[in-house]
Structure 1
Amino acid sequence: MTDASVLAQQQIWAALSDKAKNQAFNCTNGDVFTWKSLWKVLCEVFEVEFVEFDDEIAKGFDLVEMMKEKGGVWDEIVEKHGLFKTKLEEITCFDALKIVMNFDFQHVCSMNKSREFGFHGFADTFKSIRMWVERLRDMKIIP
């Protein structure tokens, strides 16, 4: 997981650092993240009941198919909560989310090279998620 502020910091560092010239770097928050660990945090943030994640059920779950016809539901949520008028597809990309949630392997990126070259930016993923949800709420994008 990569917070936008960490990515921006790293891009500025790479552009200004002679050591980083002509190098490629991974960019993550620097902590360990799994999709399975995210659900409890999201339930807390959105104040919904947490149900333990079941890997077996998740294998057959098609997020894109489930969300295909939910635009009208989103329109109702926007109206009910007085949100900034958006269409669901303007604030989400379920196709991309489906891809990253269904890797056949545990995807882990190391920040070691960045650190060795002098970049030490990081973010706590779960604090970051909470902060971004609050910002989106303040901007009236989500309820």
Structure 2
Amino acid sequence: MSDARVLAEQQIWAAVTEGAKNQAFNCTNGDVFTWKSLWKVLCEVFDVGFVACEESDEKFDWLGMMKGKGKMWDEIVEKYELLETKIEDITCFEALNVVLNYRFQHFCSMIKSREFGFLGYADTLKSIQMWVGRLGAMKMIPRR
């Protein structure tokens, strides 16, 4: 995961740091993140019950599940007086299908960035809580 603040900080650092010129750097928050750890945090943020589930080899089709749910999102927008948006303008279920159905553990290292002097980081789970709060304050998603 890459918090937008860490990404911006790294881009500025790379632009003004002579030793970073013409280098390619990964950018993540610098902690260990698994998608499995996300669901409990989201349940806490939205004040809904968490139900643990067993992992399986069967792919879950987010795109198929969300097909035709635009009307439901429109009702949520109206009920919570959110900024008028269409579900397809604020989501990408195709991308979610890809990242949540990897059949291997994906790791990304910040070692090169650190060796060159960039030390920015963020706690991913706290970052998610903060960004969800900001989206709620902006009336993009319902607040609890």
RMSD between aligned alpha carbons? Answer: 0.9
Equivalent pairs, count: 142
Unaligned runs of 5+ in 2: none
Corresponding residue SS for 2:109: coil
> For the residues of structure 1 that align with 2:34 and 2:64, how far apart are their CA atoms?
23
Q: Tell me the residue number matched to 1:52.
A: 52
Segments of 4+ moved more than 6 angstroms = none
Q: Tell me the residue number matched to 1:137.
A: 136
Unaligned runs of 5+ in 1: none
AA in 2 matched with 1:112: I
**Which structure is higher in helix share?**
1
Question: Do structure 1's residue 36 and structure 2's residue 36 form an aligned pair?
Answer: yes
> For the residues of structure 2 that align with 1:125 and 1:59, how far apart are their CA atoms?
27
> For the residues of structure 1 that align with 2:16 and 2:96, how far apart are their CA atoms?
32
Corresponding residue SS for 2:31: coil
AA in 1 matched with 2:82: L
Q: Deviations over 1:93-116 (max 9, x none)?
A: 111111111112100101000000
> For the residues of structure 2 that align with 1:107 and 1:10, how far apart are their CA atoms?
21
Does the 8 A contact of 1:31 with 1:124 survive in 2? yes
Query: 1:57-72 alignment to 2 at 5 Å?
Result: 59-72=58-71
Moved more, 96-105 or 79-88: 96-105
> For the residues of structure 1 that align with 2:58 and 2:28, how far apart are their CA atoms?
26
AA in 2 matched with 1:22: N
Q: Tell me the residue number matched to 1:97.
A: 96
- Percent identity, aligned pairs only, is 68
Query: 1:107-118 alignment to 2 at 5 Å?
Result: 107-118=106-117
Does the 8 A contact of 2:60 with 2:97 survive in 1? no
> For the residues of structure 2 that align with 1:65 and 1:35, how far apart are their CA atoms?
20
Q: Tell me the residue number matched to 2:121.
A: 122
Does the 8 A contact of 1:10 with 1:119 survive in 2? yes
Normalised to the residue count of structure 1, the TM-score between the two structures is: 0.96
Does the 8 A contact of 2:3 with 2:28 survive in 1? yes
Q: Tell me the residue number matched to 1:79.
A: 78
Does the 8 A contact of 2:60 with 2:101 survive in 1? no
AA in 1 matched with 2:49: E
Normalised to the residue count of structure 2, the TM-score between the two structures is: 0.96
Does the 8 A contact of 1:35 with 1:101 survive in 2? yes
